[in-house]
């Protein structure tokens, strides 16, 4: 039987059974929904954000762009906060904590002004739940000065974190918006004002597609649409970059990060964890596949960690951070040219087309034999051909050559010379120029 690593991990003093949580959204919008996820094995829930006034919503309110045959590469939503009565939601959170004392139950609040933030924080604290998330990040609130308007303003963040703190002694988690260049700045403001952790990302302001008959964006609401939040798989690269920025920020060292954005599988979750998140949340994947995706996340991550020799999840958090370096520190002294396995090649010509039309014209195409040949002197080792080849392992990394030294020192001349070097050493960053 495969070995498993225990996935329990601390989050602000709470021992979580595993790092998998529902993020605040309709997937965590009632007692029954949250309970179903917790029964499936989830470590906790961030309950749907409440406001004390129920917002008006539109119909339809979602779009899910496709690429070729792939549905749901991402997701656009135009929703705001919970559409259920405030008191019903409070009762649901209280009951969740009573019935699932070992699971992490977090309430998400969004006030309209300082008094309202403080009042909501006080109401939630009386429920006996574990922590509060402060929603500074919904990008489609119809009231000004709420949601991502707050996340983009250090002044509002400061005011509202302090207001929530006045109303609650519970740990506060600031949920930040990605609709900003540098998230470190508002994140620092939240921590300096009294928050204990950061969760991110909320959705990205977007237009996902157009209606070609009526010249409006999708979804069409009575002939119109609006810019609103994008989430799901295609948003993951943006989320990972924000997590890395926060985890590497010198002023945020030791501040726990809850990672969100496009997580569907245990591999997605592992990416956030190795970049410094100590737990993860998800919504869009549940909207598409349901709560049981958490079962695969649990078994996949625990077997992977055991295989890699991690005794506890905590040791895995942030292991990749040292390998994310500034662009000017990247080693540019060698190139790894592709190698074609002609036994696997199906003669589709896609490597040739991409290389000719979009790279360095470094693949020659023999029309008679329908055979590509790599031209060593032209190939720069960009490896676009590996990425477009439709056959697994047909084009792989091959010959490694190094820049010749000239009078300016190591690798400054662009003549290339082949050298025997261990490819594995390059992959793990242990190679030194021969
Ligand atoms: C339909 C929908 C409603 C959402 N509502 C909320 C909300 O009430 N509060 C909140 O903090 N985030 C809300 N979000 C954002 C998610 O919690 C999450 O941050 C975002 O969708 C990115 O994660 P994902 O790619 O796993 O969906 C909502 C997202 C969706 C798709």
- pLDDT tens for each residue of 300-309: 999 999 999 9
Whether 80 is in the pocket of ligand 1, judged by its Cβ within 6 Å, is no
Per residue in 18-33, pLDDT (tens digit) is 999 999 999 999 999 9
In the prediction, which pLDDT does 399 show?
85
Q: Please tell me the distance from the alpha carbon of residue 372 to that of residue 360, in angstroms, as a whole number.
A: 14
Which atom of ligand 1 lies nearest, measured to the CA of 61? 1
Rounded to 5°, the CA angle 207-208-209 comes to 100
Residue with tokens 């025997």: 420
Q: Which of 50, 63, 172, 202 to mutate to test the pocket of ligand 1 (most atoms within 8 A of CB)?
A: 202
Per residue in 93-120, pLDDT (tens digit) is 999 999 999 999 999 999 999 999 999 9
The predicted model gives 408-419 an average pLDDT of: 60
The predicted model gives 44-48 an average pLDDT of: 98
With a CB cutoff of 8 Å and minimum separation 6, the contacts of 259 are 199, 200, 239, 243, 269, 272, 273, 275, 277, 279, 280, 281
- The share of the chain scoring above pLDDT 90, in percent, equals 84
Name the residue at shortest CA distance from atom 3 of ligand 1.
Answer: 25
In the prediction, which pLDDT does 434 show?
45
Phi, psi of 258 (to 5 degrees): -105, 115
The hierarchical CATH code for the domain 9-323 is 3.20.20.70
Judging by DSSP bridges, how do beta strands 395-403 and 416-418 pair with one another?
A: antiparallel
Q: How far is the CA of 172 from the centre of ligand 1 (A)?
A: 18
Whether 261 is in the pocket of ligand 1, judged by its Cβ within 6 Å, is yes
Whether 283 is in the pocket of ligand 1, judged by its Cβ within 6 Å, is yes
Whether 51 is in the pocket of ligand 1, judged by its Cβ within 6 Å, is no
Whether 203 is in the pocket of ligand 1, judged by its Cβ within 6 Å, is yes
What tokens appear for 103 in the block? Answer: 């699971």
Whether 168 is in the pocket of ligand 1, judged by its Cβ within 6 Å, is no
Whether 278 is in the pocket of ligand 1, judged by its Cβ within 6 Å, is no
Q: How far is the CA of 251 from the centre of ligand 1 (A)?
A: 27
pLDDT class of 68 with cuts at 50, 70, 90: confident
pLDDT surpassing 90 at residue 288: yes
Pick the catalytic residue from 16, 34, 58, 138: 138
pLDDT surpassing 80 at residue 428: no
> What residues are paired with 105 via a beta bridge?
45
Which atom of ligand 1 lies nearest, measured to the CA of 81? 8
In this predicted structure, which of 299-313, 324-338, 357-371 has the lowest mean pLDDT? 324-338
The one-character DSSP state at 56 is P
Q: How far is the CA of 258 from the centre of ligand 1 (A)?
A: 14
Q: How far is the CA of 427 from the centre of ligand 1 (A)?
A: 36
Whether 25 is in the pocket of ligand 1, judged by its Cβ within 6 Å, is yes
Mean pLDDT of the chain: 93
- Nearest CA-CA partner of 371 in 392, 347, 343: 347
Q: Which of 21, 22, 23, 293 to mutate to test the pocket of ligand 1 (most atoms within 8 A of CB)?
A: 23
Sequence ranges of the domains in the chain: 9-323, 331-427
Q: How far is the CA of 23 from the centre of ligand 1 (A)?
A: 6
pLDDT class of 331 with cuts at 50, 70, 90: confident
Whether 139 is in the pocket of ligand 1, judged by its Cβ within 6 Å, is no
Q: How far is the CA of 10 from the centre of ligand 1 (A)?
A: 24
Whether 276 is in the pocket of ligand 1, judged by its Cβ within 6 Å, is no
Q: Which of 21, 24, 271 to mutate to test the pocket of ligand 1 (most atoms within 8 A of CB)?
A: 24
- The share of the chain scoring above pLDDT 70, in percent, equals 93
In this predicted structure, which of 119-123, 237-241, 402-406, 415-419 has the lowest mean pLDDT? 415-419
Q: How far is the CA of 203 from the centre of ligand 1 (A)?
A: 6
The predicted model gives 260-284 an average pLDDT of: 98
In this predicted structure, which of 47-61, 118-132, 336-350, 405-419 has the lowest mean pLDDT? 405-419
In the prediction, which pLDDT does 312 show?
97
The predicted model gives 372-376 an average pLDDT of: 96
Q: Is 138 a catalytic residue?
A: yes
Q: Please tell me the distance from the alpha carbon of residue 163 to that of residue 245, in angstroms, as a whole number.
A: 27
CB 180 within 8 A of CB 211: no
CB 12 within 8 A of CB 197: yes
The CATH number corresponding to 331-427 among 1.10.8.60, 3.30.70.20, 3.30.470.20, 3.90.1300.10 equals 3.30.70.20
Q: Which of 235, 283, 291 to mutate to test the pocket of ligand 1 (most atoms within 8 A of CB)?
A: 283
> What residues are paired with 22 via a beta bridge?
45, 282
Per residue in 112-156, pLDDT (tens digit) is 999 999 999 999 999 999 999 999 999 999 988 899 999 999 999
pLDDT class of 386 with cuts at 50, 70, 90: very high
Q: How far is the CA of 290 from the centre of ligand 1 (A)?
A: 15
> Of all residues in the chain, what percent are helix, strand and coil, respectively (each to 5)?
35, 20, 45
The one-character DSSP state at 327 is G
The predicted model gives 409-431 an average pLDDT of: 59
């Amino acid at each position: 039987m495969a070995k498993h690593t225990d996935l329990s991990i601390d989050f602000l003093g709470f021992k979580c059974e595993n790092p998998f949580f529902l993020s605040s959204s309709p997937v965590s919008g009632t007692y029954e929904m949250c309970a179903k996820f917790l029964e499936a094995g989830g470590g906790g829930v961030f309950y749907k954000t409440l406001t004390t006034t129920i917002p008006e919503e539109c119909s339809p309110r979602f779009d899910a762009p496709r690429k070729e045959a792939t549905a749901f590469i991402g997701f656009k939503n135009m929703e705001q906060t919970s559409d259920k009565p405030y008191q019903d939601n409070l009762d649901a959170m209280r009951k969740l904590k009573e019935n699932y004392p070992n699971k992490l139950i977090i309430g998400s609040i969004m006030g309209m002004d300082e008094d309202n933030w403080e009042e909501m924080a006080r109401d939630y604290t009386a429920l006996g739940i574990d922590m509060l998330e402060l929603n500074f990040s919904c990008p489609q609130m119809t009231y000004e000065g709420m949601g991502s308007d707050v996340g983009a303003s250090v002044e509002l963040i400061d005011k509202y974190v302090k207001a929530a703190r006045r109303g609650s002694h519970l740990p506060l988690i600031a949920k930040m918006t990605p609709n900003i260049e540098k998230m470190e700045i508002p994140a620092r403001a939240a921590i300096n004002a009294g928050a204990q952790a950061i969760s991110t990302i909320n959705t990205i302001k977007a237009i996902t597609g157009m209606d070609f008959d009526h010249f409006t964006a999708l979804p069409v609401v009575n002939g119109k649409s609006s810019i609103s939040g994008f989430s799901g798989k295609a948003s993951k690269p943006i989320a990972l970059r924000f997590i890395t920025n926060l985890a590497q920020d010198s002023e945020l060292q030791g501040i726990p990060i809850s990672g969100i954005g496009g997580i569907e599988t245990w591999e997605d979750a592992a990416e956030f964890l190795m970049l410094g998140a100590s737990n993860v949340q998800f919504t869009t994947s549940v909207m598409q596949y349901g709560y049981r995706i958490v079962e695969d996340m649990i078994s996949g991550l625990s077997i992977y960690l055991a295989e890699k020799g991690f005794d506890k999840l905590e040791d895995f958090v942030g292991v990749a951070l040292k390998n994310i370096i500034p662009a000017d520190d990247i080693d540019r002294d060698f190139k790894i040219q592709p190698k074609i396995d002609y036994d696997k090649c199906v003669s589709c010509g896609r490597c040739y087309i991409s290389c000719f039309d979009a790279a360095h014209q470094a693949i020659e195409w023999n029309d008679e034999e329908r055979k590509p040949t790599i031209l060593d002197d032209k190939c720069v080792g960009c490896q676009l051909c590996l990425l477009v080849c439709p056959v697994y392992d047909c084009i792989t990394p091959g010959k490694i050559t190094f820049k010749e030294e000239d009078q300016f020192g190591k690798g400054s001349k662009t003549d290339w010379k082949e050298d025997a070097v261990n490819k594995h050493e390059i992959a793990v960053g242990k190679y030194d120029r021969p």
